[in-house]
Amino acid sequence: MRSDQAGVGLGLTIVRSTVQAHDGTLTIEGRRDGGLRVSVVLPTGEASGRLGDVVPSEAL
């Protein structure tokens, strides 16, 4: 998408839903230059189980 085209506004909504589903955090900060800083932090280790069973690679 070119920078002069308007989006439909779903991008951050989709990211937020995905991050929440993985028990992560999403931080959005406004910048002085008019941009945004978006940070996504996802946990490592055991899955929460909400997305299905995770099989360790050693078991495959």
Say how far apart CA 13 and CA 40 lie, in whole Å.
13
- pLDDT, residue 56, reads 56
pLDDT at 7: 74
| Cβ-contact 31, 39 below 8 angstroms | no
Q: Residue ranges of the alpha helices (H) in the chain? A: 11-21
Task: Give the pLDDT score at 26.
Answer: 93
Per-residue tens of pLDDT for the chain, all 60 residues: 456 777 777 888 999 999 999 889 999 999 898 888 989 999 886 655 555 555 555 544
pLDDT score for 52: 53
Q: In the prediction, which pLDDT does 57 show?
A: 56
d(CA 42, CA 16): 12
